[in-house]
A and B are shown apart, each in its own frame.
Chain A
Amino acid sequence: MENSNIKTTGNVFVDNPRMTARNVDVYYGDKHAIKDVTIDIGEQEVIAFIGPSGCGKSTFLRTLNRMNDTIDICRVEGTISLDGEDIYAPSVDVVPLRARVGMVFQKPNPFPKSIYDNIAYGPRIHGLTKSKSELDDIVESALEKAGLWNEVKDRLDQPGTGLSGGQQQRLCIARAIAVSPEVILMDEPCSALDPIATAKVEELIEELKSQYTIVIVTHSMQQAARVSDRTAYFHLGDLIEVGNTEQIFTNPSHQLTQDYITGRFG
C-alpha cells in the first residue's frame, strides 16, 4: 500500500502515560486497517480521535480493550500497554483487562433487563461486592456520576430499554463506571443522540475527566473541540497528527489535518 509510512506530526508522547501504543498495525483479513500507529494516552485526560469515516479511528479504539478479539479475521501487531503491561501478551486475560478499560458504544445498548440490573451486571459478574447493600451503593453512585440518579431513582426496576436515547446512553456510561475502570473508551457515544442529549453526555464527560482517562472517537469536530484536551487525527489508517486540541483546531501543522478541519473533505 502506498502512503503506508506517513510520519505522525506533533507530539505523540506524554509525561505520565496510562496507555501506550507502539507501532500498532491492524489487519482485517487482507485489509490493512491501521498502519504503524504510535501514541500515548495520558492519565486523566480526554483524548479525541477524529478523522473521516473509514479512517480507522474506531478500529484503533477497539484495539485498546481488545474488543477486536470478537472478530475472527482481525489481527493486531505491535504493542499496546496499560500501566506498562502489554495487553496483547499471551498471558493476559481479556476479562480483567476489559474491567479496567471500559467501553461505551455508538448505539446505546442497554441489556433487556431492569435499570438496576443493567448497572449491577458488571459488579456482579466481577464479584466486586460482598453484600446487597454494597451493590446498592455502587449502583447509586454510578448512576449519580452519570447524572441519571435523579431521573431514574424511582423506577430502578423498570427495563433499561424503556428510557429515552440519551438516558440509555448515560445508563451505558453508568454501567461502564460501575466496574470502576481506569480508562473509558467511547465510540461516537453521541452519534445516535439529539443535541440536548448530546449536551448532557458532553457535560458528563467533562465531570468524569477528574477520575478517569477517557478516549473518545467522534465524527463531530465541534464535539472534539468542546470536550477533549488532546486530539489525534486519523486518515486512511494512518495517524496523521496529534496535539493539544486548541493547537490542532487553530493551527494544524499537517496539510491533511488542515484540509479536514477546514471542511475540504470528510
Chain B
Amino acid sequence: MTNKAFKGLSPQEATARVEASLKQRRKKEKRFRLMGLSAVVLALTFLVILFSGILTKGLPGMFQHYVQLDVVLDKARLDPQGDMSDASLFSGDADKIILEASLASIGEEGGRKTKKTLRKMVSSGGSQRLIEFVKANPELMGTTQTIKFAVDDDIDSFLRGFIKRETAEKDRRINDFTIEIVDKWQEAGLISYELSDYLFFGSASRDAEMAGIKGALFGSLLTLAICVSIAFPLGVAAAVYLEEIAPKNRWTEMIEININNLAAVPSVVFGIMGLAIFIVTFGMPRSIPLVGGIVLALMTLPTIIISSRAAIRAVPPSIRDAALGIGASKMQTIFHHVLPLAMPGMLTGTIIGMAQALGETAPLLMIGMVAFIVDIPGGFTDPATVLPVQIFMWADFAERMFIQKTSAAIIVLLAFLITMNAAAIMLRKKLERRW
C-alpha cells in the first residue's frame, strides 16, 4: 500500500459523506421495498383473477333453466305392463307424454314441425325424470301433475343470452321458431332458473344440461378411501421405522434417498408405473378406484412420510426417556407415547397428501380412469372416474353450457380442497399450542 500516513477518515468527514449518500440510498430502499410489495400484490392478483374467473363462470353453472309442464300421468301409457317395473316403465310412452304436455303448454295441436322442434327443446333426460317421478309417487297415477323438466342446453344458453336473438338465424344454433316457443313459455311463466339438481345428482352425460358430478364425486371418494387406507398406515410405519428404529447404515440411507427422489418424480410417471405394473403385469382391470387409489397412495407416500417424520422428531426426547425409564419396551414407548403425541402432525401431513391426491389428474388418465362412465360406481372395482378427470373431460366439450358446468365442478373440487387444507391448518394450530 502506498499511503502509509493515511489513517482513515475522521468521524466528522465520514459523517458528512454518509449524509451525502443518504438521499440516493433512501430512494433505492424505497424502490426495493416497492419491488417486493408489487411482487406480493402481483401474486395475489393472479390468485384473485383465477378465483374470480372460476367463480363468475362457475356460479351460474350451479343453476340451470327448467320448464314446468302439466303432465297427464296416464297409467296405461306410462306403465303398459301395469307392474311398475323398470322394464315396463321404460317401454312406456314417457317421451310422447312429455311431448304432449309441451304441446299443451303452448296451446297447440302441433304439426310435424312443432313436434320436431319441441322434442329438441326439453332435455332428453325428461322421460327418465318422469319415470322417477311416478315411481316415487305411484298414488298420483291418473292425475295431472306439474313437473319441472330441464330445457335443452341450447335453450339454456339462449336464455342466458349467450345465443343472441339478433344473430342471423342461419348463424345461431336455434332457429326463430324455437325462439318463438321459448317466448311463449316465458310469457306463460313456465320457465324457471334454479339450482341445478342434475349437477349434483346427475352423472356423466354428453348432454350438457344433464351432466352431473355425482358419479365422479363417488369415484373420487372411493379412490381417496383406498389411497388413505394404504398411504396412511404405510407412511406412518415407514416414518416410525426411519425415526425410531432404523440403524444408521447404507440401507437406511438408501431408503431416505429413495423417498426424496420419489417426492420429485412427476406425477404422470406414477401413472405409467400403475399402467405397466398393476394393469399390464398384474392384470387388474382399467378405470377402477382400487388401482387409482394404489397409484395415488404411492404418489403421496413421500409427503406423508416426510411430514410424519417431522412430527415424530418434534416429540421431546424427555417423553421417550420417561417411558423407557419406567420399563416400557421400545415398541410400547412408540405406540403408547410417541405416536399419540405425533398424531396431529401426522394427520396434518396426511390431509395435505390427500388433498394433493384429490386434485391429481395425470396419473389417473394413464390407468384409464378417463373412460366415459354413466353408472355411479358402487365399489372399489367398478369402473369409475374422479372429479378432476371429469373436469378435464368436460373442458374438452365445446358446448357453452359445459364450460359453466366445468367451472361449477371446479368450485366443488376447490371447496373440498379448501376444507381439507383448512382442517390441516387447524390441526397444525392445535399442535403448536401443545409445545
Q: A180, B22: Cβ atoms under 8 Å?
A: no
The 7 closest A-B pairs by CB, nearest first: A127-B21, A180-B14, A137-B6, A180-B9, A141-B8, A99-B18, A182-B11
Q: B8, A96: Cβ atoms under 8 Å?
A: no
Q: Is A178 an interface residue (CB 8 A)?
A: yes
Contacts between chains A and B (CB distance < 8 A), count:
61
Q: A177, B8: Cβ atoms under 8 Å?
A: yes
Q: A180, B11: Cβ atoms under 8 Å?
A: yes
Q: Is B400 an interface residue (CB 8 A)?
A: no
Once bound together, how far apart are the Cα atoms of A179 and B15, in whole Å? 9
Q: Is B7 an interface residue (CB 8 A)?
A: yes
Residue of B6, B9, B22, B25 with most chain A CB atoms under a 10 A cut-off: B9
Nearest B residue (CB) for A99: B18
- Which residues of the partner chain B approach A138 to less than 8 Å between Cβ atoms? 6, 8-9
For the side of the interface on B, what is the size category? Answer: 20 to 34
Give the residues from 1 to 26 in chain B that come closer than 8 angstroms, CB to CB, to chain A.
1-3, 6-11, 13-15, 17-22, 24-26
Q: B3, A137: Cβ atoms under 8 Å?
A: yes
Q: A142, B20: Cβ atoms under 8 Å?
A: no
Once bound together, how far apart are the Cα atoms of A147 and B26, in whole Å? 35
- Which residues of the partner chain A approach B24 to less than 8 Å between Cβ atoms? 127
Other contacts beyond A125-B21, A137-B1, A182-B11: 11, CB < 8 A: A96-B15, A99-B15, A100-B15, A100-B18, A126-B21, A133-B2, A137-B8, A138-B6, A138-B9, A177-B8, A181-B14
Q: A128, B1: Cβ atoms under 8 Å?
A: no
Once bound together, how far apart are the Cα atoms of A182 and B6, in whole Å? 18
Nearest B residue (CB) for A130: B17
Q: Is A15 an interface residue (CB 8 A)?
A: no
Once bound together, how far apart are the Cα atoms of A180 and B20, in whole Å? 15
- Which residues of the partner chain B approach A133 to less than 8 Å between Cβ atoms? 2-3
- Which residues of the partner chain A approach B11 to less than 8 Å between Cβ atoms? 100, 180-182
For the complex formed, measure the closest distance between the CB of A91 and the CB atoms of chain B, giving whole angstroms: 12
Task: Take A128-B17, A136-B1 as given contacts and tell me if A96 and B10 are in contact as well, using a CB distance cutoff of 8 Å.
Answer: no
- Which residues of the partner chain A approach B18 to less than 8 Å between Cβ atoms? 95-96, 99-100, 126-128, 179
For the complex formed, measure the closest distance between the CB of A15 and the CB atoms of chain B, giving whole angstroms: 20
Nearest B residue (CB) for A139: B1
Q: Is A140 an interface residue (CB 8 A)?
A: yes
Q: Is A93 an interface residue (CB 8 A)?
A: yes
Once bound together, how far apart are the Cα atoms of A96 and B10, in whole Å? 15
Interface majority SS on A: helix, strand, loop or mixed? Answer: helix
Q: B8, A142: Cβ atoms under 8 Å?
A: yes
B-to-A contact residues, CB < 8 Å: 1-3, 6-11, 13-15, 17-22, 24-26
Q: A141, B6: Cβ atoms under 8 Å?
A: yes
For the complex formed, measure the closest distance between the CB of B25 and the CB atoms of chain A, giving whole angstroms: 7
Q: B7, A141: Cβ atoms under 8 Å?
A: yes
Nearest B residue (CB) for A145: B8
Once bound together, how far apart are the Cα atoms of A145 and B6, in whole Å? 12
* 10 A-B pairs whose Cβ atoms sit less than 8 Å apart in the complex: A93-B22, A95-B18, A96-B18, A125-B25, A128-B14, A128-B17, A133-B2, A137-B8, A141-B6, A179-B14
- Which residues of the partner chain A approach B22 to less than 8 Å between Cβ atoms? 93, 95-96
Q: B6, A95: Cβ atoms under 8 Å?
A: no
Nearest A residue (CB) for B2: A133
Once bound together, how far apart are the Cα atoms of A128 and B14, in whole Å? 6
Q: A180, B13: Cβ atoms under 8 Å?
A: yes
Once bound together, how far apart are the Cα atoms of A66 and B11, in whole Å? 19
B9 is contacted by which of A93, A128, A145 (Cβ under 8 Å)? A128
- Which residues of the partner chain B approach A178 to less than 8 Å between Cβ atoms? 8
Nearest B residue (CB) for A126: B18
- Which residues of the partner chain A approach B15 to less than 8 Å between Cβ atoms? 96, 99-100
For the complex formed, measure the closest distance between the CB of B383 and the CB atoms of chain A, giving whole angstroms: 57
CB 8 Å contact bits of A97-121 with B (1 = contact, 0 = none)? 0011000000000000000000000
Give the residues from 119 to 158 in chain A that come closer than 8 angstroms, CB to CB, to chain B.
125-128, 133, 136-138, 140-142, 145
Nearest A residue (CB) for B6: A137
CB 8 Å contact bits of A157-196 with B (1 = contact, 0 = none)? 0000000000000000000011111100000000000000
Q: A99, B20: Cβ atoms under 8 Å?
A: no
For the complex formed, measure the closest distance between the CB of A242 and the CB atoms of chain B, giving whole angstroms: 25
- Which residues of the partner chain B approach A128 to less than 8 Å between Cβ atoms? 9, 14, 17-18
Nearest B residue (CB) for A98: B18
For the complex formed, measure the closest distance between the CB of A98 and the CB atoms of chain B, giving whole angstroms: 10
Once bound together, how far apart are the Cα atoms of A126 and B10, in whole Å? 14
Q: A99, B1: Cβ atoms under 8 Å?
A: no
Once bound together, how far apart are the Cα atoms of A213 and B3, in whole Å? 26
Once bound together, how far apart are the Cα atoms of A141 and B15, in whole Å? 18
For the complex formed, measure the closest distance between the CB of B5 and the CB atoms of chain A, giving whole angstroms: 10
Nearest B residue (CB) for A138: B8
Q: B2, A180: Cβ atoms under 8 Å?
A: no
For the complex formed, measure the closest distance between the CB of B32 and the CB atoms of chain A, giving whole angstroms: 13
Residue of A93, A95, A145, A180 with most chain B CB atoms under a 10 A cut-off: A180
For the complex formed, measure the closest distance between the CB of B378 and the CB atoms of chain A, giving whole angstroms: 57
Once bound together, how far apart are the Cα atoms of A238 and B119, in whole Å? 92
Once bound together, how far apart are the Cα atoms of A133 and B3, in whole Å? 9
Residue of B8, B15, B17, B25 with most chain A CB atoms under a 10 A cut-off: B8
Q: B2, A99: Cβ atoms under 8 Å?
A: no
Once bound together, how far apart are the Cα atoms of A99 and B8, in whole Å? 14
Nearest A residue (CB) for B13: A180
Residue of A96, A125, A140, A142 with most chain B CB atoms under a 10 A cut-off: A96
For the complex formed, measure the closest distance between the CB of B4 and the CB atoms of chain A, giving whole angstroms: 9
Task: Take A95-B25, A137-B3 as given contacts and tell me if A180 and B8 are in contact as well, using a CB distance cutoff of 8 Å.
Answer: yes
Residue of A145, A178, A179 with most chain B CB atoms under a 10 A cut-off: A179
Once bound together, how far apart are the Cα atoms of A142 and B8, in whole Å? 7
Once bound together, how far apart are the Cα atoms of A124 and B37, in whole Å? 26
Task: Take A137-B3, A140-B1 as given contacts and tell me if A180 and B10 are in contact as well, using a CB distance cutoff of 8 Å.
Answer: yes
For the complex formed, measure the closest distance between the CB of B433 and the CB atoms of chain A, giving whole angstroms: 19
Nearest A residue (CB) for B8: A141
Once bound together, how far apart are the Cα atoms of A99 and B14, in whole Å? 8
Once bound together, how far apart are the Cα atoms of A253 and B304, in whole Å? 64
- Which residues of the partner chain A approach B26 to less than 8 Å between Cβ atoms? 93
Once bound together, how far apart are the Cα atoms of A182 and B15, in whole Å? 9
Nearest A residue (CB) for B21: A127
